[in-house]
Amino acid sequence: MERLQKILAHAGVASRRKCEELITAGKVAVNGVTVTELGAKADPARDVITVSGRRIGAERKLYLMMNKPKGVITSVRDPQGRPVVTDYLKNVKERVYPVGRLDYDTEGLLLLTNDGDLANRLTHPRHHVPKTYHATVERVPHGSDLEKLAHGIRLEDGMTAPAEVEYVDVDPDGKFATISITIREGRNRQVRRMFEAIRHPVIRLKRVAFGGVTLDNLQRGKYRALTPEELDALRRAADATAESR
Ligand code: URA
């Protein structure tokens, strides 16, 4: 929920001061009811807000999840002409943007939306939204090494925050292992650097969950709209973590 004058200003109606004047002049309605107090709040994603009868922010909000293949840039365009994630979208007229980044070589769950406010809350470092990766690494790390990753390990840009780490799969010949790791930060190449720090370089990296939403069996290169339940989970993840700042 946000103050009405802030919502109106963000939607490009006018300056915040001018929007306050529109409210006190009785020009603004929320879900059909005229609002004249300046303290009033609304939810721009759910409420129908009108100014002189015209709906604001009417562009449909779209929330997609994609299974990004490796070898694709998390961007809407690439100056060098390499494939970008939005190349995979068909018949999507809204201008959606990726929520955060996955490396060129990383695959898996990527959210795309035109809801800039939710995207910011999900990616802001202070909001600590959990992201789970399956990292397939060289050889089989010792439990004590995984504990180091769980407690926090020193990287060149400082200690990492606590993480949840567990074995998913172990090669009987000891050549590789797949480890699930959940982090609440988003530093550059963080998961790869964490495993490098314990001398088990990452062979393959896939994100399987983000803020309570999981990739499940979405095929590589495919995308779909989030369900209302998934969107609620995502909003809760962004809000709950915001409170514990
Ligand atoms: N950590 C990485 O190393 N790469 C990613 O793409 C995401 C997290």
Question: From CA 82, how far away is CA 72, in angstroms rounded?
Answer: 7
pLDDT in tens, 7-36: 888 777 778 888 999 999 999 999 999 999
Distance 106 CA to ligand 1 centre (A): 7
Best residue among 106, 137, 206 to mutate for probing ligand 1's pocket (most ligand atoms within 8 Å of CB) is: 106
Which residue's alpha carbon is nearest to atom 4 within ligand 1?
189
Between 39 and 161, where is the model more confident? Answer: 161
pLDDT in tens, 104-130: 999 999 999 988 888 999 998 888 999
> What DSSP assignment string belongs to the chain?
-EEHHHHHHHTTSS-HHHHHHHHHTT-EEETTEE---TT-EE-TTTS-EEETTEESS-SPP-EEEEEEPTT-BSSS--TT---BGGGG--S--S--EESS---TT-EEEEEEES-HHHHHHHH-GGG---EEEEEEEES---HHHHHHHHH--EETTEEPPP-EEEEEEE-TTSSEEEEEEEES---TTHHHHHHHHTT--EEEEEEEEETTEE-TTPPTT-EEEPPHHHHHHHHHHHHHHHHT-
Hey, which residues are catalytic here? 103
Question: From CA 245, how far away is CA 240, in angstroms rounded?
Answer: 9
Phi, psi torsion values for 80, nearest 5 degrees:
-90, 5
List the structure tokens of 239.
């809000």
Residue 230: is its pLDDT beyond 60?
yes
Which residue's alpha carbon is nearest to atom 7 within ligand 1?
102
Which ligand 1 atom is at minimum distance from the Cα of 183? 8
Which ligand 1 atom is at minimum distance from the Cα of 207? 7
Distance 205 CA to ligand 1 centre (A): 7
Question: From CA 85, how far away is CA 68, in angstroms rounded?
Answer: 7
* Binding pocket residue ranges, ligand 1, CB within 6 Å: 102-103, 106, 189-192, 205
Which ligand 1 atom is at minimum distance from the Cα of 106? 6
Residue 151: is its pLDDT beyond 70?
yes
pTM (global) more than 0.85: no
pLDDT of 241 reads: 54
pLDDT of 111 reads: 98
Q: What angle do CA 157, 163, 168 make, to 5 degrees?
A: 120
Q: What angle do CA 57, 59, 60 make, to 5 degrees?
A: 120
**85 close to 68: Cβ distance less than 8 angstroms:** yes
